[in-house]
Amino acid sequence: MSIHADTDTADSPSKTLEMSFTEDSSLTELMRHRAAFLQRPGQKRQDGERLLLPHEAIYRLDFSTQDLRFSRWHVSLAGQGRVTVSGICQLWTPDLTNLMTRQLLEPVGTFWRNAGDPDDTPLKFLEADIQEFGERIAELAKVRKVMYFLFAFKEGTDASKLSCTVEFEEN
């Protein structure tokens, strides 16, 4: 299922670029080690530090071009559940710095299907939020080659049940 959140299109034809979010498993594991380390006696997290929870993972988008205009999301979810996608707003170097709560973008993209809904029921989402979120990703792509995201899987879903891409038009 595609979630279309179209923006105004220019009169001239433009090239479409669909980008897949890919899990950064080594970064996710590094963040899990940080959370485990802080569970030891005498260890404290930094003020405002955001620790990775067991149902969360770090994903990334690698931008091959940086002059983009957001077009739409393509999200499919097998079964019920909720997925929340939060962008990380600064050039995050997790080997040198910890993830801080203030680095998470607003709004977030939230996609869900309720318990009892048939699998062919369209996903629910807040259209204005996913539109603004897509536009912010395109804006940040102008100054980044890589952008990181925090994916949270809730209410009975996990990464194996999700397909999530974002479509842009090249300017």
Give the three-state DSSP class for 10: coil
Helix, strand, coil abundance in the chain, percent, nearest 5: 20, 35, 45
Q: How many residues does the chain have?
A: 171
pLDDT of residue 128: 95
DSSP 133: H
CATH number of 2-170: 2.60.120.390
Could you tell me the residue ranges of all domains in the chain? 2-170
Neighbours of 13 (CB within 10 A): 8
pLDDT of residue 84: 97
| CA separation for the pair 87, 69 (Å, rounded) | 17
pLDDT of residue 95: 62
pLDDT tens track for 9-65: 445 567 999 999 999 999 899 889 988 998 888 889 889 999 999 999 999 999 989
pLDDT tens track for 113-153: 999 999 889 999 999 999 999 999 999 999 888 999 999 99
pLDDT of residue 171: 87
HEC sequence for 12-79: CCCCEEEEECEECHHHHHHHHHHHHHCCCCCCCCCCCECCCCCCEEEEEEECCCCCEEEEEEEEEECC
Residues 94 and 51: beta-carbon distance below 8 Å: no
pLDDT tens track for 63-83: 989 899 999 999 999 999 999
Q: Say which residue, 86 or 11, is predicted with more confidence.
A: 86
- pLDDT exceeds 70 at position 3: no
pTM of structure: 0.88
Token look-up 């739409």 returns 72
